[in-house]
Amino acid sequence: MSKITLKINGKERPVDVSSDMPLLWALRDKLNMTGTKYSCGIGQCGACTVLLDGTPMRACITPAASVAGMNITTIEGLHPEGEHPVQKAWHKIDVPQCGYCQGGQILTAVSLLERNQNPSDADIDAAHSGNICRCGTYHRIRKAVKLAARYKRGGAK
C-alpha cells in the first residue's frame, strides 16, 4: 500500500492503494465514488470511462498510481444538477434504458464535443464504438450527441 493523491473533479483526494489497484476500484471502494461502473474489467466495454486530462480512458485497466497528479473527471464531476449540455441532451432524448453504461457514454460524448463541434453519425460511431450498451440505445446516443452539439453552439434550448 502506498499513499497517493488523485485529482478528481478538481479536488485533491489522498488515497491508500496497492501499486496495481486500478483507478476504478480506488474510486469505487476507497472513495465510495460509484458513478464509474465495473462491467468487463479488461477495457472492452467502456462502462468505466473517465476523462484523463480530457481524454476518455478505461479506469478498469489503469493503475490509480499511474494517474496521480493528472486531472480526472468522473461522471459525478460533470454538472451536479445535470445542466451540462450533454446531460441535458441525454435527458431530452431520454437515452437510458437500464442506464448502467450511460455515465461512460456521456463522458465519451463530452470529450468528442470538445474536439468536434458538429459531429456526423460516423464521427459519433467512431467515438462511441468502445462503449457497449447492452440495452441498445445507440440510435438515441447518435441523436443526443447531435442535440448536445447544438446546445453547446447555442442553437437550441
Angstrom distance (rounded) from CA 130 to CA 147: 21
Does the protein bind another protein through residue 35 (CB under 8 A)?
Answer: yes
- Which residue in 131, 146, 148, 149 binds another protein (CB under 8 A)? 131
Choices 51-59, 110-118, 121-129, 149-157; region in contact with another protein by CB under 8 A: 121-129
71-73 vs 49-52, strand pairing mode = antiparallel
Q: Rule CB under 8 A: choose which of 2, 5, 14, 44 binds another protein.
A: 44
Number of residues that bind another protein (CB under 8 A): 63
Which of 99, 107, 102 has its CA nearest to residue 73?
107
**75 touching another protein, by CB under 8 A:** yes
Q: What's the DSSP call for residue 62? A: S
> Binding to another protein by residue 79, rule CB under 8 A?
yes
Least distance to another protein, CB of residue 118, Å: 18
Angle at 13 between CA 7 and CA 25, to 5 degrees: 90
- Residue 147 touches another protein, criterion: CB under 8 A: no
CA dist 137 → 26, 105, 131 (Å): 29, 10, 11
Helices 121-128 and 102-115, packing angle to 10 deg: 130
Q: Among 3, 10, 12, 136, which residue interacts with another protein (rule: CB under 8 A)? A: 136
The contact set with another protein (CB under 8 A) reads 1, 18, 20-22, 25, 28-30, 32-42, 44-45, 47, 74-76, 78-82, 87, 90-92, 94, 96-103, 106, 124-126, 128-142
